[in-house]
Amino acid sequence: MSPHGIGETWEDDTHRVVLVTGAGGGLGSCIAGRFFDRGYRVALTDLDEQTAAKAATELDPTGQNAVGLALDVRDKDAFVRVRDQLVERWGAVHVLVNNAGYSKVEPLMDISPESFDAVVRTNLDGPFFGCQVFGAYFAERGYGRIVNIGSLAGQNGGTATGAHYAASKGGVATLTKVFARELGPHGVTVNAVSPGPQDLPVVRDSVTPDRLAQIEASIPVGRLGRPAFIADMCLLLAAEHADAVTGACWDANGGLYMR
C-alpha cells in the first residue's frame, strides 16, 4: 500500500494541489507563492474574492496553476464548496494550510463579547472547519497534509496582541493535536507552525514604531521573523516524506519562547 492510498502514487497527479486560506496578502500570499514556486497548483482563498483573484493572477497570469477563490472560513459549508471546486478543477487536493487570521489589539478589560467572538470565529472556528472538511476528504483518499498557522501569542499569552487573539491561537495548538490523533491512522498529518512577530505590514501597522523597536530589542536574535522561512516550514511539513511528524508545533520566534 502506498502512502497515498491503495494504487495511488504522486505520479498519478500532474501537480500536487494546495489550498491556502487568507492568501490575499501578507503571510498567506508568501506561503502560496512558495508552494507555487515548488511546482504546486495553488488555490489562494480570501474573504474578498477580488483580492484572492488578484494575488493568484500575480502568481500565474495564465490561471492554469493558480486560482483565487472566495472563502469565509467562519462558514463550514464554504470549505465544502471550495473543496468541490478544486476537485472539479484539478482532480484532487493534497494540502491545506489554515492561515486565515484576524488580529485586534485591545486592552484586556475592554474586549466586548462581540469583539471576542469576531476574533475567535476566524482564528479558531476557521481551522476547525477546515480540518473537519479536508480532514475527512484526505482520510477517504488515504493521504493528506494539514498545516495550521498558530502564533507565539498562543503559547505565552501574547505581548502586542489582544487576549482574544492569544486565546484563539492557543486553541489552534490544541485542535492540531486532536485532529492529528484522529486522522493519523488514515495517512493524514496535522501540524502547526507558531511564528513570533514577523516582518509584515500587518505587524508594523498594528504597533507604534517605539513599541516595535522595543519588541525587536527583546528578541534574542535581534530582528523580526522572515515570512519566507515560515513558508519553507509549511512546505516541509507538507512534503510526502513528512509522515513521521504529526501533532507537532514548530516554533519560529527568534528565541522569544524556548521549550
Tens digit of pLDDT for each residue in 14-51? 489 999 999 999 999 999 999 999 999 999 999 999 99
Which of 40, 137, 165, 257 is the catalytic position? 165
Q: How far apart are CA 9 and CA 213, in angstroms?
A: 49
Q: What is the pLDDT of residue 211?
A: 81
Q: What is the pLDDT of residue 237?
A: 98
Model confidence at 197, in pLDDT bands (50, 70, 90)?
confident
Is the predicted pLDDT of residue 6 greater than 70, yes or no? no
- CATH H-level, domain 10-252: superfamily: NAD(P)-binding Rossmann-like Domain (3.40.50.720)
For the chain, the domains span: 10-252
Q: Is 137 a catalytic residue?
A: no
pLDDT tens by residue, 78-95: 999 999 999 999 999 999
pLDDT tens by residue, 127-140: 999 999 999 999 99
Is the predicted pLDDT of residue 12 greater than 50, yes or no? no
Q: What is the pLDDT of residue 30?
A: 97
Is the predicted pLDDT of residue 168 greater than 60, yes or no? yes
